[in-house]
Amino acid sequence: MQYSHGISAASGKPFSPPLLFRMVPRKNPAKTDRKEIRQGKCHKCSKWVAVEGVKDIECKVKELHWWKHAASCHNQSTITGEEGVWEEDKVYKRLVEL
């Protein structure tokens, strides 16, 4: 679930997204590589993390690079105020009862 859907194995909740994004130019990219790479800022470690690969191709799962960082860094932490990820319908209520 972590790398296909972005669901944390530790918490069972979706990984928090990056706080900010920025584009950073790459030094000496190869012909088939991106000239710039997008980075996201992590709420937990405050590092800028690449959220896309260096190859200039389409990914099947665009969030994969972020989710890999989140799985190793976030543990069960979330962005302050980030709650209510589940729709509290009759199925949810039934599962909570179990």
Q: Could you report the per-residue pLDDT of 67-79, keeping only the tens digit for each?
A: 899 889 887 777 7
CA dihedral (19, 63, 71, 86) positive or negative: positive
Of the listed ranges 9-13, 36-40, 43-47, 91-95, the one predicted with least confidence? 9-13
Taking the model in full, what pTM does it have?
Answer: 0.74
Q: Could you report the per-residue pLDDT of 17-56, keeping only the tens digit for each?
A: 899 999 999 999 999 999 999 999 999 999 999 999 998 8
Which sequence spans correspond to the domains of the chain?
A: 20-97
Give the whole-angstrom CA distance, residue 13 versus residue 35.
Answer: 34
- Cα end-to-end span (Å), the chain: 22
